[in-house]
Structure 1
């Protein structure tokens, strides 16, 4: 048995995971986190009074405030401090009326967990019960000093994190969003072309292949939405956004359009997969041989329309070709009405989906043409 090959494959997988995780933005975030933690630890040692006794909370504050975007860092830092102060307040109320013991500690943690469900606490929700517990257990007989030191040093750390994030400006994630949108358009076009080819070259296809199509589209759609969202977040409060302006409303428009197209492409995939597997009695479907070519050309027309939108060229020609292919399919569907629902339904479903794809693309293409 050759043990070298499995070992080599395992090493390659690990290296690919590392490469995927250690991206440019992630590497920059790691550097900023390291700088912020070091700065917080340095500053914490110079804090006056009892605060100086709890320097280890400053690096923690810096760490929890480090996010890829400036607005994300500010939001996380503020919410963490709010959760922290709320937990300290709850613990302080208990200490005013009773000594920390099994009953009071359990009660305050229970109440703190209830408060942590408040939506506006966001990232700070976990710090409500944590802070309350720390104050009662670690603070012991010196709750006041501990609470002050804990809160102030965490604030120092958050401040250091925000300062580092503001000085070493977070990147604008516009290019990632543009790239993801472009890839999504290309993927949708490729899927439509693949189905068009299958209808004329390799019909019926393998069912697993069609299932994989839909899984890939779902994953890609999720990735694109995240990329556009992160691009939007990266510009908030970022001075670089003034120098590198981008109309993200157009990206959101494209995202909505592509998500709609993806829905219809998946609908077409499911329809043709049902045909290719013969369906299930008594709802079995079939696609007459005479309709294979018209359906294929309609799908190819929609694919070419997506490719033209991506390239920004020959839009009018591709639009007219897609319309002709769709009209030809509709004509063939109308001619086969007497063939029965089993033959009529799949082709009609595909025609309807293609029509909706073109209707979705039309306003986007017109707006892009007017902008240029």
Structure 2
């Protein structure tokens, strides 16, 4: 597909075109309304715009919040007119009360309409406040209804594709981190490259972006007729995301432990040098599990290799138990425990049919035997 074709079908461009169509329809129909609403046709296009959100449910939610905010603002202005008269004090009081109500967050992104509407009714409406209020509310309602209809009938947004892409990005980021840490173990000691030691927050940020994408996709399917044709198991996506978040915790932990063994910060730790090759192989194998996630048989083979590498590391730890200082084995044992927990988190997604005996073989207990 050409660049022009990709741009023309991007969600933002489609949404912009839909907004333009909704505004055009609202502006065409607004003058046809009877009564005082005919005097305020410019509020209909505004209503169409405020109802244009990335998903149907967010559009409906914002539409209801907008109408609620307008109603509250009109009621505040009406209270001023009925109980007193518009002046500097009463107008300021109405706006202040409206701002206080909007600060509660009950009306979401449309909360600012409360004080603004009260101000408009009292100042712009003036002596014709009742007619202005009716026209304002009716035209905004018309525009919102048109915007919702356009959003529903013309390619209602469905954000499924981004979920798969973000999950792949998350797995790759974790795999790259494990591989880079493994490469550092094979490098000169201390390693010259230290970027891997300061990437924890980046991994957290990637995970946060994935959760936003999955939540957005979940919201986009609600009330969306396209979701019946283009289906996706978002429950499975949530489960995968949860597993990757667990993996992130353990990747960050082993990264911090190994960084402390290299530079002695934030605590002084020691890593037995002869354990570095086995640790590197284990981390590379765990990274391969994440990279081969969607490759059917390859992911199971990668998982088996990771289990074998972890077993070899456990065996070497056990063999050195009596000949090496306990502190020099502690770092390797901690990393082994983290890799075990990583494989445990990934196992249900890679070997869902495996029995408990296979699980014991794939992810052995990292505690050295006594």
User: TM-score with structure 2 length normalisation?
Assistant: 0.87
**2:260 maps to what in 1?**
274
Say whether 1:304 aligns with 2:288.
yes
1:174 aligns with 2:160: yes
Deviation at 1:287, TM superposition (A): 1.4
CA distance in 2, matches of 1:196, 1:303: 9
**Aligned partners of 1:115, 1:253: CA distance in 2, in Å?**
38
Please state if 1:284 is matched with 2:268.
yes
Query: Equivalents in 2 of 1:266, 1:155: separation in Å?
Result: 51
Give the Cα separation in 1 of the matches to 2:166 and 2:88: 54
User: Residue deviations 1:215-251, cap 9 Å, x none?
Assistant: 4322321221122112111211111111122211001
Alignment of 1:68 with 2:54, yes or no, is yes
> 8 Å contact 1:298–1:325 — kept in the other structure?
yes
Q: C-alpha distance in 1, partners of 2:250/2:322?
A: 23
Q: 2:344 aligns with which of 338, 346, 359?
A: 359
Q: Does 1:254 align with 2:240?
A: yes
Measure the CA separation in 2 of the matches of 1:330 and 1:86. 67
Q: Distance in 1 between matches of 2:125 and 2:326?
A: 76
Superposition TM-score, scaled by structure 1 size: 0.87
Structure 1 regions of 5+ residues with no counterpart? Answer: 1-19
SS for the counterpart of 2:126 is coil
Q: Does 1:210 align with 2:196?
A: yes
Match of 1:35 among 6, 18, 21: 21
Question: CA offsets, 1:78-111, max 9 Å, x none?
Answer: 1111111111112111211111112111211221
More helix by share: 1
What is the alpha-carbon distance in structure 2 between the residues aligned to residue 37 and residue 369 of structure 1?
57
Partner of 1:180, secondary structure, is: helix
Q: Partners of 1:102 and 1:184 in 2: how far apart?
A: 56
For residue 284 of structure 1, report the CA deviation from its aligned partner. 1.4
Report what 2:63 is aligned to. Answer: 77
1:141 correspondence with 2:127 = yes
- Determine the structure 2 residue equivalent to 1:8: none
Q: Deviation of residue 179 (structure 1)?
A: 1.4
Check if 1:48 corresponds to 2:20.
Answer: no
1:192-234 per-position Cα deviation (integer Å, ceiling 9, x unaligned): 1121122113543356512453243223212211221121112
Superposed CA RMSD in Å reads 2.4
Separation (CA, whole Å) in 2 of partners of 1:368 and 1:93:
67
Residue-pair matches, total: 349
Residue aligning to 2:310 = 326
Preserved contact between residue 294 and residue 328 of structure 1 (Cα < 8 Å) = yes
Would the aligned equivalents of 2:37 and 2:138 in 1 still touch at CA under 8 Å? yes
Contact 1:207 1:277 in 2 (8 A): no
Q: Is the 8 A contact 2:52 2:147 kept in 1?
A: yes
Q: Structure 1 350/21 Cα, relative in aligned 2: closer, same or farther at 3 Å?
A: farther
The yes-or-no answer on 1:121 pairing with 2:95 is no
